[in-house]
Amino acid sequence: MNFTDAFVAKGCSKDDAGVPAVTLGAAEQWIDVYKAANDNNVTIVGGAARTVGAAGGWIQGGGHSPLGALYGMGVDNVLEFTVVKADGKIVTANLCQNKDLFWALRGGGGGTYGVTLDVTYKTHPPLQSVAVVVLQVNTTGPEQTADMTAAFFRALPNITDQGARGYGFWMIPNNSFAIILIHPNSPSVEATNSTVQPIFDRAAQINGTQIGTIGSMHPTFYEMFTTYIGDVGIAISAWLGSRLPICVYQREYR
């Protein structure tokens, strides 16, 4: 990992103002990157799994991040790639050279256009705080689970407008689901918790529905990450859904 305060992409004018950045090799994993960013007192937009590589399929798939509300997705923060193309040539792709390849690598799919050797990302100032709110919603049947899911989806546009991002896990056989919301620079747990108040309101109207909550404040993203994000298990059965535009929720769950 190479941190700098004044990165200028290769092939660009030396007169361009450099920006704070870090260059990450293909073997770097997010848990190690976040530790290094914390040690260097900067913030980097990355993934929400400890052992996912920081320069591979995550970024080439778009790069969803808990910090997306502040700084966009991973691809919005890339400054440069070094890539081995199918013909074996090693090339640099950025806004000043191999522009088409640079465009394609930012979301075109892992391994589609070449093998990434390293990626350079913007870095940002340290966060003031990070609030986390975890909800465990337990219902008495499939219909009630669907009802509570709809309540969450109706609340989602406001949750994202307030700057929170997160992940949801639906345990269909158990008629339950869990949500973790990560809210950078939130003033308090109470402020973050208020964004999900409609879910509590709906639960109060459905007999037998229970919601358990955990909330905490953290001074740094790294502390939050090591507290809540553990290693991902193997041999589990799950379906993944992601990257749905907010307009879908606004249209379908009015």
Same domain, 7 and 56: yes
Please report the pLDDT score of residue 153 as a whole number.
Answer: 95
235 and 145 in a common domain? yes
With b for 16 or more beta-carbon neighbours within 10 A and e for fewer, the 203-236 pattern comes to: beeeeebebeeeeebbebbbebbbebbeeeeeee
Instruction: Decide which of 122, 150, 171 is a domain's last residue.
Output: 122
* pTM (two decimals): 0.90
Per the structure, the complete domain to which residue 206 belongs is given by: 130-252
Q: Which of 122, 155, 183 is the last residue of a domain?
A: 122
Q: Is the same domain home to 109 and 37?
A: yes
Residues 158 and 248 in one domain: yes
d(Cα 247, Cα 45) in Å, to the nearest integer? 24
Classify residue 132 by burial, with Cβ atoms within 10 Å: 0-12, 13-18, 19+. buried
Three-state SS string across 97-142, please?
Answer: CCHHHHHHHCCCCCCCCCEEEEEEEECECCCCCEEEEEEEEECCCH
Is the domain of 191 the same as that of 228?
A: yes
16 and 74 fall within a common domain: yes
Same-domain check for residues 114 and 138:
no
Asked if 24 and 88 sit in the same domain, the reply is yes
pLDDT of residue 235: 64
The structural domain count of the chain equals 2
Domain CATH code at residue 139: 3.30.70.100
CATH code, domain with 22: 3.30.465.10
Question: Given CA atoms 109, 66, 50, 214 in this order, what sign does their dihedral have?
Answer: negative
Asked if 70 and 116 sit in the same domain, the reply is yes
Give tens-digit pLDDT for 182-192.
Answer: 999 999 999 99
* Ranges of the chain whose pLDDT falls below 70: 235
Q: Are 172 and 116 contained in the same domain?
A: no
144 and 96 within one domain: no
Return the pLDDT at 132: 98
Q: Of the candidates 96, 122, 148, which is a domain's last residue?
A: 122
Same domain, 222 and 244: yes
